[in-house]
Structure 1
Amino acid sequence: MTEFSLSQVVVSQEGEQLYSFEYAATVTKTSTTLVESFAQLGLIEPVGVMLSRRDITRIAQIQRLRHDLGLNLVGAAMVLDMAQEIANLRTQNQAYQSLLDTMLDIKTQK
């Protein structure tokens, strides 16, 4: 694994700032071994050996669910995935409702 200093800034092709596993471990108060385990289990999606801010947030959320609710890694990841799916469905529902409202407004104006 390539070593990166904590102060090094790496930017993805999409312009997203990326962070080392060491930085992620420091800010989430875990170990690089645990961060690597998260990556190996597919709980986070590193870009090579770097992580996005979203991945670091997910590590912190998983750790909080493990600590607060006593969930195991897979259970915590499932809770986060379901919460994201619910948020996506709510967004879709709002878009469909807005479209329906627009269509009803057009129909009543005729």
Structure 2
Amino acid sequence: MTSTPGPPAQRGRHRGVYSISVAAELSGHSIQNLRAYERRGLLQPLRTDGGTRRYSDADVARLARIRALLTDGLNLAGIAMVLDLEDEVLRLRRR
């Protein structure tokens, strides 16, 4: 598995521990939707050496955000823009 840089507390939050079926159940999304979100670049789960997706707590939180934005009426293109902007705000705040 690829390790995630950052402080130990963040590494734990970004550690891929959930299979796709567990992540789907935790988030209320279907497995097919998780795969579609990955194809669209909305989500980037870690992969094992064998290629199995492993979702982290941060991924599950991101899926909850995607669900909220879908509920608010945004399409996937709009969600991608919102998530990109939110990620940029986080990067800037860390500076």
> What's the TM-score once normalised by structure 2's chain length?
0.71
Q: CA RMSD in A?
A: 1.8
User: How many percent identity over aligned positions?
Assistant: 36
Gaps of 5+ in 1: 1-11, 93-110
Question: Could you say which structure has the higher helix fraction?
Answer: 1
After the TM superposition, list the runs of 4 or more consecutive aligned residues in structure 1 that deviate by more than 4 angstroms: none
Gaps of 5+ in 2: 4-11, 48-52
**Could you say which residue in structure 1 is the equivalent of 2:17?**
18
CA distance in 2, matches of 1:77, 1:28: 18
CA distance in 1, matches of 2:92, 2:2: 29
Q: Is the 8 A contact 2:16 2:46 kept in 1?
A: no
Identify which of 57, 79, 83 aligns with 1:53: 57
Deviation at 1:74, TM superposition (A): 2.1
Give the aligned length. 80
CA distance in 2, matches of 1:61, 1:47: 19
C-alpha change, 1:32 and 1:86, in structure 2 (3 Å) is same
Helix, strand or coil for the counterpart of 1:42? coil
- Larger relative contact order (C-alpha < 8 A, sep ≥ 6)? 2
Identify which of 65, 79, 91 aligns with 1:88: 91
**Could you say which residue in structure 1 is the equivalent of 2:8?**
none
Counterparts of 1:1-12 in structure 2, within 5 Å, are: 12=1
The C-alpha deviation readout for 1:46-98, integer Å capped at 9, x for no partner, is 22222122112111101101102x11112112212201211221332xxxxxx
Q: Is the 8 A contact 1:62 1:77 kept in 2?
A: no
Paired letter, 2:39: Q
